[in-house]
Amino acid sequence: MLTQLVLTVLVISFLIGFFAMLIWKKDSPQWKIFPFFYTFLPAIIAILVVFIIEKRWSLGNFSFSKFDPFYVFLGFVIPVIFFAINLAIQTRACSYKLKSGIEWKKILPGIAISIPILIIFVGGEEIGWRGFMQAPLIESFGSVFGIVLLGLIWGIWHAPVALRGYNLRSHFWAEAFVLYPFMCICYSFPLAFLTTSSGSIWPALVFHATNNTMGSIGTQIFEKQNSKLEILLFVLTGMFLIVPFAIVL
């Protein structure tokens, strides 16, 4: 069922994603809303595939009822630390330039609002990737290679959105086929650690929502100076996430 699950999620997502690209211009209101809808597809498709094949309803292999505060806290802290490390390296290398007059009193309180809201939207991805695909991939290919494959699938899935320059307008090909796949591989290691250690989906939801929140904060506090250098440094700093969690796993 793993092959059917992966192919069905990718094929249907791509058909919907690339069709949306054809009918809506990237600056249209419809396209700006579309990525929020796109995030629900992995969960919706996976739930339906499992029901069709196994005749049962499921939200994946990790519990929504189990809430472990320690691992949820780690789900918040890890992306914050990674953001701080990456920001320090990027500004040091002059690929980022901090804006003047940053209003931290307005930015920081927004974190408490942004994360709960984003948990709703990233839920579709986490149910699909971690809930349904992570365990079968690890069982089939081993801890490290299975997680690498999961991250690669997750990263490539972003292609319809990334090819419109979601984060890197001038280097959208690199965003779609280098940055997203590699960073999703990097993120998949701590996410695998958090979910398998806790048996809960909540640490992954908090991790993903916090990571996206940090990205939003980034647009408010710095300006990008060199996109090619930014991509290279992201690849290098991503190893901070891969190495320790790969060793633990």
Q: Give tens-digit pLDDT for 76-99.
A: 999 999 999 988 898 988 888 888
For residue 137, what pLDDT is reported?
Answer: 97
For residue 169, what pLDDT is reported?
Answer: 66
For residue 106, what pLDDT is reported?
Answer: 82
Q: Which of 239, 137, 118, 234 is nearest to 192 (CA)?
A: 137
Q: Contact 67/206 with Cβ under 8 angstroms?
A: no
pTM over 0.75: yes
For residue 168, what pLDDT is reported?
Answer: 63
pLDDT at 240 over 80: no
Q: Give tens-digit pLDDT for 158-185.
A: 999 988 877 666 677 878 888 899 999 9
Q: Give tens-digit pLDDT for 15-29.
A: 999 999 999 988 899
For residue 237, what pLDDT is reported?
Answer: 85
